[in-house]
Amino acid sequence: MELLTPGTGLIFWQAITFLAVVFILGRFAWRPIIGSLKAREDSIEDALKAAELAKEEMKLLQADNEKLLQEARKERDEILREAQNASNRIRSEAKEQAEQSSARILDDARREILQQKEKALAEMKGMVATLSIDIAEKVLGKELQDKKSQENLVDDLLKETKIH
């Protein structure tokens, strides 16, 4: 049984050796290992915080980008609407000007036609009056060549005027 149970001296020396190893490791190895583990833990924690901040910034940037895109779309739509309105306005103004111009041309043509018609009618009246006078002179000239026919004509005219 001696092999199974250690002696007190052995336990003593093992305890001293164990304590010496723990002391040496605690003095020279564990502090640097724990320090490097702590430094690594801190760097990992800082990296996680930086990643979280970057993630938040990315969310903000995405939101800003989305807002900018929406604003750009709104501006594009507004510009297109204004261009369409301007195009429609220009078209309607051109159409209106064309209608006014054609109406003015038609009015001028109608006035010119009326003036020409009145002028032609005046000329016709003048020609008819001249022809009537010429015909009357010729008719009266033939009928009134002798004295007796002149007296008869004056008598007839006087009778007609008294009757009416």
Q: Structurally, how many domains does the chain consist of?
A: 1
| 158 in any annotated domain | no
* pLDDT for 115: 94
- The per-residue pLDDT for range 6-22, each reduced to its tens digit, is 778 888 999 999 999 99
Is residue 162 included in any domain, yes or no?
no
HEC profile of 95-107:
HHHHHHHHHHHHH
Top pLDDT among 4 and 72 is at 72
Note down the domain range covering 124: 9-143
3-6 contacts, C-beta under 8 A, 24 or more apart: none
Is 159 part of any domain? no
Q: What share of the chain is helix, strand, coil (3-state, %, to 5)?
A: 95, 0, 5
Q: What whole-number percentage of the chain has pLDDT above 70?
A: 86
How far apart are the C-alpha atoms of 160 and 136, rounded to whole Å? 18
Flag whether 24 is in a domain: yes
Asked if the structure places residue 100 within a domain, the reply is yes
Residue 164 lies in a domain: no
